[in-house]
Amino acid sequence: MRRIFRLSALALALGASTACRPETIIETEDIPTAGIRFVNAVPDTFGLDFRPVDIVENTHFYSVNFRSTTLLYYKNARAGQRHFKIFLANPSLTAPSAEQQAIAGTVVEDMNLTLEAGKNYTVIIWGYMRPGSTPAKRVTVLEDNPADPGSQVALRIVNAAAGLGAVDGRFYPSTGSAPASPNWASVPELSASAYVNTAPGAIKANVRLAGGTTALFTDPTLPAGIAETIDIDGAPGSTRAGTGMSGFVFPRSVSGSRAANFTTPGMFWVWDRRPPRTCALC
């Protein structure tokens, strides 16, 4: 009994000693990051992989097909001088392993990027991959950082339509019709317009060849967004003041190529800037 008592007393003493110690604080690195996304606008080849090769982080975009809309969101990338590569994506998991490895190891582009903390970027590959085609394939980094539009929304178009030349862009309320004069005039192919601010609401876009009178495709309606609630930030969109958005104009696919099959030009819209959170008690 005496031995058991001594052991119990020792355990109590150790417990009291531990309870009196301050909690251990473990400091973690505050990593400055930028937002990055990848767009494949090459109309004559199959999917592409975008990967960091300098550090390990979750900024990979795998098997991004021509005009794909499935991976159009920003991923956090460490800011600073960065090294990325674009590879051909493996089109078939049933092909012989040697063929798969040869395709997946093919580097399409090797690039060094400077990413500034707090900014958003689009890495877009556009033009034609096939030798002799014009305009030739190249990679451009777009800064997706419109000035705060305040009570309005900021819109721009990105002319990724290789081979179509310059385009005119218009926006208008979805209950109305396209204006006579373009909001963005003669945007050269493989370039982005400036942002233009407009009142939030249900909005449509109209795109024509520069100086033309016929729309290249049916006028798309911009994503409206989702209102915030007391515990959810909501989604940016044309009805949410403070939103910034880009509309990407794409060409048709090259006939007989391995690109995803699109027989007409097209467009999709994505957000570049989230509206500030204003809901205290929705």
Specify the fold of 146-282: Immunoglobulin-like (2.60.40)
- 72-75 long-range contacts, Cβ below 8 Å, gap at least 24? 72/37, 72/39, 72/268, 72/270, 73/37, 74/35, 74/36, 74/37, 74/120, 75/35, 75/36, 75/37
| Domain range 32-144, CATH architecture | Sandwich (2.60)
- Strands (DSSP E) along 150-225, which ranges? 153-159, 167-173, 184-187, 191-192, 196-198, 203-209
User: pLDDT 10s per residue in the chain (282 long)?
Assistant: 444 445 455 454 555 555 555 566 766 677 999 999 999 999 999 899 999 999 999 999 999 999 998 888 999 999 999 999 999 988 766 767 776 677 777 899 999 999 999 999 999 999 999 999 999 999 999 999 999 999 999 999 999 999 999 999 999 999 999 999 999 999 999 999 999 999 999 999 999 999 999 999 999 999 999 988 877 788 999 999 999 999 999 999 999 998 999 999 999 999 999 998 876 655
Domain residue extents for the chain: 32-144, 146-282
Residues 96/58, Cβ–Cβ less than 8 Å: no
Cα–chain-centroid distance for residue 20?
50
Q: Which of 161, 96, 117, 109 is nearest to 138 (CA)?
A: 109
pTM, full prediction: 0.86
With tokens 């002799």, the residue in question is 132
* DSSP type of residue 235: B
- Strands (DSSP E) along 22-151, which ranges? 33-41, 48-52, 61-64, 75-78, 80-88, 107-115, 120-126, 138-143
Q: Which of 126, 209, 207, 222 is nearest to 174 (CA)?
A: 222
H or E, element range at 245: strand 244-250
Q: What pLDDT sits at residue 23?
A: 66
Q: What pLDDT sits at residue 1?
A: 46
Q: Which of 42, 38, 37 is nearest to 250 (CA)?
A: 42
HSE-CB at 218 with a 13 A cutoff on CA atoms is 2
Residues 83/277, Cβ–Cβ less than 8 Å: no
